[in-house]
Amino acid sequence: MKWNMLHQVSLLTCIFVLLNGCGFAEHFKRTYQEAGETYFAPENLGADTQNTGLLLVDAVTKHMLDTVRLFGVAIASIEDPGKTIIIGSFQTGGFLSQRSGVVVIPNLQPGTYKIVKTRTQTVHEWETLYMPTSKEFEIEISAGKPVYFGQIQIRWLFPSTDREIRIQYDKKREAESWKMVVDKYSESPWITIINTHIKSLE
109-139 pLDDT, tens per residue? 999 999 999 888 766 677 888 888 889 999 9
Same-domain pairing of 49 and 87: yes
The total of structural domains in the chain comes to 2
Same-domain pairing of 58 and 32: no
Same-domain pairing of 72 and 161: yes
pLDDT at 22 exceeding the cut of 50:
no
Same-domain pairing of 80 and 44: yes
> What mean pLDDT do residues 80-106 have?
83
Same-domain pairing of 111 and 131: yes
Asked if 106 and 196 touch (Cβ cutoff 8 Å), the reply is no
CATH number at residue 49: 2.60.40.1120
User: Which residues form the domain of 5?
Assistant: 1-36
Same-domain pairing of 137 and 196: yes
Instruction: Read off φ and ψ for residue 187, nearest 5 degrees.
Output: -95, 0
In Å, how far are 13, 27, 30, 186, 193 from 182, measured between CA atoms? 35, 32, 34, 5, 10
**Rounded distance between C-alpha atoms, residue 15 and residue 9, angstroms:** 10
Same-domain pairing of 147 and 94: yes
pTM given for the model: 0.77
Per-residue pLDDT tens for 156-189?
777 777 778 888 899 999 999 999 999 999 999 9
In Å, how far are 85, 101, 154, 158 from 63, measured between CA atoms? 25, 10, 11, 15
Same-domain pairing of 111 and 22: no
pLDDT band at 34 (very low <50, low <70, confident <90, very high): very low
